[in-house]
């Protein structure tokens, strides 16, 4: 297939482009590089030997988006990653989040409608569940009131896709990711947070390499085995492969329903302290960390029921926590060699 990957130079997008190319698909990337680097295109080519076609523009620009779709009449499917994703930033700048994450989706759906493209895989998040009443969380668990504008854009995007799917006879798969971490084993691509990282694993690796003085562990008074919050961490390469499976499911018309939702996680929850211990185990280092106050808005615990993704999508995560931490550490060390601006 010829597959449009929006946000294809980003963290999950770039890993997905690699897996798509390795399965013989042709990839076209659209990215405005607002939170990624153009060099990622070359890094992808180093891994796969194929330089993906790349267009740099903002998908919230309706006119540019329209022209783009007109110029690409043979797109078979779309995987839509391009979005803002920082929970805290979305609290401070809600309109920026609604405008960016919803306008881009609407322009893509318009392009699909106008050009007869019917297949789309969408990046959603376990954040749509909030703090679930029952764990592990199933796809049928209720979508709770959003805790942040970011989470709300994911909920609204799913609804927009559902109605568009019915109205325009689309084939849609929404993938609800748990916590993607780690990097490609080649250490050519990985997570590249601009400035101070918000997320746990890049904060750990940046602390270990000396960019940050120490990691703050946000609270140890939760009702979890060691008091720190529990998440379902998932290797980004496993996650990338799920997108290949999903888009091929659309191609082969294997869907049971035109609009489907799958949880993507390992099904196992780990606490913050367990993640730190895994990092120390694989790196042989002692991490400097300190327990501090809870981070506002953090939920206590969440992990996925992956049985539907395993049985129906035919996808299962294979990497464990140590693999995730090992690859994240290898990537951090490779990045250090590059001396990129904006990381210190």
Which residues are designated catalytic?
150
How near is the Cβ of 271 to ligand UFG at its closest, in Å?
8
Beta strands in the chain (DSSP E): 2-6, 26-30, 53-55, 77-80, 119-125, 171-177, 179-181, 215-218, 230-231, 233-235, 259-264, 270-271, 289-292
Cβ distance to ligand UFG smaller for residue 118 or 198: 198
Taking the C-alpha atoms of residue 193 and residue 177, their distance in angstroms, rounded to an integer, is 18
Cβ distance to ligand UFG smaller for residue 10 or 151: 151
Cβ distance to ligand UFG smaller for residue 298 or 323: 298
How near is the Cβ of 269 to ligand UFG at its closest, in Å?
11
How near is the Cβ of 332 to ligand UFG at its closest, in Å?
15
Cβ distance to ligand UFG smaller for residue 25 or 231: 231
Taking the C-alpha atoms of residue 85 and residue 249, their distance in angstroms, rounded to an integer, is 26
How near is the Cβ of 121 to ligand UFG at its closest, in Å?
18
Q: Hunting for tokens 């929850």 — which residue is that?
A: 269
Q: Hunting for tokens 């405005």 — which residue is that?
A: 32
Cβ distance to ligand UFG smaller for residue 111 or 229: 229
Tokens at residue 277, please? 């211990």
Q: Which residues bind ligand UFG (CB under 6 A)?
A: 85, 87, 125-127, 151, 179, 198-200, 203, 215-218, 229, 231, 272, 295, 298
Q: Give the sheet arrangement for strand 119-125, strand by strand.
A: 53-55, 26-30, 2-6, 77-80, 119-125, 171-177, 259-264
SS3 339: coil
How near is the Cβ of 54 to ligand UFG at its closest, in Å?
25
């Amino acid at each position: 297939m010829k597959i449009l990957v929006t946000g294809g130079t980003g963290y999950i997008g770039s890993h997905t482009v690699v897996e798509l190319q390795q399965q013989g698909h042709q990839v076209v990337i659209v990215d405005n590089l607002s939170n990624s680097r153009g060099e990622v295109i070359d890094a992808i080519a180093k891994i796969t030997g194929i330089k993906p076609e790349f267009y740099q523009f903002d998908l919230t620009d309706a006119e540019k988006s329209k022209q783009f779709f007109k110029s690409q009449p043979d797109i078979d499917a779309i995987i839509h990653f391009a979005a803002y994703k920082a929970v805290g930033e979305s609290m401070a700048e809600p309109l920026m989040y609604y405008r960016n994450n919803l306008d881009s989706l609407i322009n893509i759906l318009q392009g699909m409608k106008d050009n007869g493209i019917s297949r789309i895989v969408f990046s959603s998040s376990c954040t749509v569940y909030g703090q679930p009443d029952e764990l592990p969380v199933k796809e049928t668990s209720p979508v709770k009131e959003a805790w942040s504008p970011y989470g709300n854009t994911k909920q609204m995007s799913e609804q927009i896709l559902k109605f568009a799917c019915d109205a325009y006879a689309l084939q849609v798969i929404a993938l609800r990711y748990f916590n993607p971490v780690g990097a490609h084993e080649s250490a050519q691509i990985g997570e590249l947070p601009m400035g101070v990282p918000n997320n746990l694993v890049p904060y750990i690796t940046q602390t270990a390499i000396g960019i940050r003085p120490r990691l703050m562990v946000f609270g140890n008074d939760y009702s979890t085995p060691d008091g720190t919050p529990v998440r379902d961490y998932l290797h980004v390469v496993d996650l990338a492969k799920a997108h290949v499976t999903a888009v091929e499911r659309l191609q082969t018309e294997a869907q049971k329903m035109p609009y489907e939702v799958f949880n993507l996680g390992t099904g196992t929850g780990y606490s913050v302290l367990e993640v730190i211990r895994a990092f120390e185990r694989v790196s042989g280092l002692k991490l400097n960390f300190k327990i501090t106050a809870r981070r506002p808005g953090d939920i206590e615990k969440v992990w996925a029921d992956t049985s539907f993704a395993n049985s129906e999508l035919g996808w299962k995560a294979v990497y464990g926590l140590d693999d995730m931490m090992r690859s994240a550490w290898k990537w951090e060390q490779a990045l250090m060699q590059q001396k990129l601006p904006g990381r210190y």
